[in-house]
Amino acid sequence: MNKRNLSLALIWIGVIITLAAVFKDRLMVPMIIEVEANKIAVSIWWDCGERDCDEMEVEIYKQNWEVVISSTYFWIKDDSIDAIRESAEVEYIEGQWRIKNELERTFKCQKDRWHQDFSSELCN
């Protein structure tokens, strides 16, 4: 290996070490599992037993390096609201998942009662 190739190899090793140090915390975070996400959703929002709804669905996804949980409540027993979706960023601290930021609450209206997609606008 000549000096030029050796220099390039050392530069790349330095770049990789720097990137690993910068992103270490983000790369080492375990992914939340569905059971934990369900517990968080019920603890900060509600489940269908507390309100009149027929189904609760929890989703987990990554958004800009953050872990987000989203809980959707379907078939709400309401004359204007058909479904409600809550979402929040969660973080892993000292062996536990905790809410970092509550992001939004959106609504899907009953048929013929305003918007049919999830929106922050209330249903009429």
Same domain, 15 and 62: no
Distance between CA 74 and CA 72 in Å, rounded? 6
CA 5 to the chain's CA centroid: 44
Over the stretch 30-88, which tens digit does the pLDDT of each residue have? Answer: 667 788 888 888 888 877 776 678 888 999 888 777 888 999 999 888 888 899 999 99
CA 69 to the chain's CA centroid: 3
Same domain, 2 and 12: yes
Q: Can you give the residue range of the structural domain that contains 24?
A: 1-29
Same domain, 56 and 116: yes
Q: Two tokens at 75?
A: 């078939």
- Whole-number Cα distances in Å, 33 to 6, 29, 72, 79: 44, 12, 17, 34
Number of domains in the chain: 2
Q: Two tokens at 97?
A: 């998942």
